[in-house]
Chains A and B, each alone.
Chain A
Amino acid sequence: MMPGSSGGSWKSSGTGGAGGDGGVPDQFPAGLRVLVVDDDSTCLMILEKMLRHCKYEVTKCNRAEVALSFLRENKNGFDVVISDVHMPDMDGFKLLEHIGLEMDLPVIMMSADDSKSVVMKGVTHGACDYLIKPVRIEALRNIWQHVVRKRKHEWKDFDPSASADEQKQPEEPDYSSSANEGNNWKNTKRRKDEDDEADERDESSSLKKPRVVWSVELHQQFVAAVNQLGIDKAVPKKILELMNVPGLTRENVASHLQKYRLYLRRLSGSQHPGGMNAGFMGSDAGYGSISSLNGLDLQALAASGQLGQLPPQSLATLQAAALGRSNNAKSTISVPVIDQRNLFSFENPKSRYPEVQSQHLTSNNSSKQINLLPGIPTNMEPKQFVSLHQSGHHSFGGMNNLVLIQMGGQSQVHVHSQNQTQSQAQSNVNTHNVLRQPVMSNEMLTRGGVADMAPTAVYNPVVSVSQASSLVNFSMNHKTDSCGTSYPLGGSLGISSLPTASSALQGDGNLDTKVSRKGIVPSYDIFNDLNQNRDWGLPDVGLTFDQSPHTIQSGLDGSNPLLHQHNRASGRDLGGHNRNLTSGKVVLPPGVETRTRHNGSNVGQPRNVYVKTENDIDGSCHNTLYSEQYGQDDLLAAILKQQQQQQGVGEPENEFVFDGYTLDDLPV
């Protein structure tokens, strides 16, 4: 043990070897990888010793910035973080936010200050626990519970079935926001299960994070419950009770609600300065950058007007937005509100970037503007884009913009651009081709280490295009390597109507969007009803991560990116599901931050991709979708091209990786 070395950070593994991640011994919680941050060297030394005594693997830092970089470099290198509140270089709560947003790790705050206000602050910022100094070793012994709890919540979002003890790693990645982390840990846990008590085993299974797929039906139930309670009074607990769905947790509902609120806000207002209009809104919601959308042929599409049934007004708005905004820097993905808001793109509530939202995408650089052509009801989550831009900081771009482009006459294309702009998002998201909105660029997610941001996988609700798949669900679920969560694309949701496009969205190409070509619409219709006028006044939808942003786990890998039918992706659940929308590449405009909730509870969003597209997109669908569906070949082409720019459209897998998605180009 290094005596008295308080500066810097190093790993001191009790066993003398860097336990390394995942290399924990079987004796859970032994080997728990803890990062301790405290500017007080004395405390740091003591804590380290105590933690080592608990058989944890300890890394200590006396500066928050160092801690953050540590965390970013080792995405899955830690299980829990303990941080002091008062630190000279960065406020402990700020660090908490960052960690929650980027990595979604459980964070325990500590301080000598035990005043209620400070403790409350810890709670509101999403800290898992608050320890009063001087910390006793007993208090540290049980910190593993927070890790388990968090994992459990995450998994719960997943399909319950997924939480099988034996859940294989491969499955996990899809769901777990921090796949590796979860995996490693789970592995460890799993191993440990053998020798540990049976309940450990149960725990591990519960750790699996099942993602809740917000199917149309489920969403309808949800909406019905919300309406029954009144949007103002709708609290997750009551909603849960009303819905009475077994296996659904309050957290699922909470995150979904957040998204929903965001969505409503968007709908209600493009006038809603604060709200993002991303997503469903068609009304001028921030189309702001529609015009700026780079090359978005959305405009073309819009022009063609054939897209789906964009209500004239939405088209108009789109156009206006597009023109007006021009350049909102990427994020303005104004999603034309297709009259049916069927897509609820629950963009990741940009909890973080409230301001972004207001702009409805017009603001700043939301790269993701997916504003899809006026005609195309793209449910871009303008907010997300906006937030992406705005936040500048790595916000989780989680906005998954699902741009669903309805190809073909009736089909509505909803482009959901989920911008999950995670810090990195900016780069990725950028071009959000309208079509591809699903901005949850994985990249973005991965980038900033935002592992879980992805969780907010925006649901790219793929609106089932009535026509066969005109819905191009661009929800890109970014499959961030780290977190596949970004899109809650309910992979399982059969993305209806997302024609192959779904694949396009997915960066990872595997669009196995479940979109079934058959005219998805049913869900879509539902959404429409639901969406319409819902005033989701969620100002910043940030799905609170605290719950488990993991849901966004980018399940992207596998799920078909676009076509996640379930638009409902409640923030949390979306994680897994949205993948389909744009797996992997949810390119959220840099500015866009998909909110997957960052700090502890911050962003909760992205899972909103509520795209229910029923098309069965076979992965490649995206591109093909467009071409097929869209009556407007040119539109599609344009859009596709954009996508292609990103990834080379045309491939089924798509790629709609919106990495390079620059919203600016989106022609709206």
Chain B
Amino acid sequence: MERNQMHTQVANTRKSLFDQGYLDDQFIQLEELQDSSNPNFVEEVVTLYYRDSARFLSNLDQALEKRPLDFSKLDNLMHQFKGSSTSIGAKKVKTECTHFRNYCSARNAEGCKRTFQNVKKEYTTLRKKLEAYFQMSRQVGPVETACQAR
């Protein structure tokens, strides 16, 4: 039925997120933490992540506007942002963060700016995908992963 189909759809969506490299194993860890006592844990964490990390991104934006660039500060900011992203399993975001930090150590301003754009892009893309995914899950109702509808 639709329900089954929806379940399947949700499952497929989820799978594609992994296959396409948007999410990694850490995300599964989060899912495993989700249980009946906290059925929306993953979504809560992700929401929290997006809320907090917005701050890092704006700080990074500002720091990148300065001349000359303060690479160590950039590195610090990015380190924190990367840590956050890693903890939710945002794989592509993490990869771009690493590139950014490499450019930072090389003191390559152009490289930094470029990769930062990539970071933001991946960040936004992931956010959209996850939002869609969660919404779908909620509609489907309780599934194996216990994503319950609100």
Contact = CB atoms under 8 A, between A and B. Distances in A.
Contacts, number: 70
A215 B29 CA distance: 53
B83 A43 contact: yes
A136 interface: yes
A42 B87 contact: yes
Interface in B27-59: 29-30, 32-33, 37-38, 40-41, 44-45, 47-49, 52-53
Contacts of A50: 29, 33
Contacts of A40: 52, 80, 83-84, 87
Interface in A381-420: none
A137 B52 contact: no
A134 B29 contact: yes
A638 to B, nearest CB: 58
Which of A86, A112, A135 has most B Cβ within 10 Å?
A112
A112 B38 contact: no
A137 B26 CA distance: 10
Interface in A523-580: none
B137 interface: no
A113 B26 contact: no
Contact of A45 (B40, B45, B86, B89): B45
Interface stretch (A1-9, A196-204, A319-327, A653-661): A1-9
B79 A86 contact: yes
Given A43-B87, A134-B89, A86 B76 contact: yes
B29 A42 contact: no
Given A45-B48, A86-B76, A111 B41 contact: no
Interface in A73-118: 86, 111-113
Interface residues of B, number: 26
A142 to B, nearest CB: 16
A137 B79 contact: no
B86 A112 contact: yes
Which of B38, B44, B87 has most A Cβ within 10 Å?
B87
Contacts of A3: 38, 40-41, 44
Contact of B84 (A1, A42, A49, A53): A42
Contacts of B83: 40, 43, 86, 111-112, 133
A41 B29 CA distance: 17
B82 interface: yes
A102 B55 CA distance: 34
A134 B86 contact: yes
Nearest to B32: A137
Nearest to A41: B52
Nearest to B49: A42
A136 B86 contact: no
A380 B12 CA distance: 74
A303 interface: no
A46 B86 contact: no
Contacts of B33: 46, 49-50, 53, 137
Given A41-B52, A46-B88, 18 more contacts: A1-B38, A3-B44, A4-B45, A6-B52, A39-B80, A40-B87, A41-B48, A42-B48, A42-B84, A42-B87, A50-B29, A86-B80, A133-B86, A134-B26, A134-B86, A136-B26, A137-B29, A137-B32
Interface of A: 1, 3-4, 6, 39-43, 45-46, 49-50, 53, 86, 111-113, 133-137
15 contacts: A1-B37, A3-B40, A46-B33, A46-B87, A49-B33, A50-B29, A50-B33, A86-B83, A112-B82, A112-B83, A112-B86, A113-B79, A133-B86, A133-B87, A137-B32
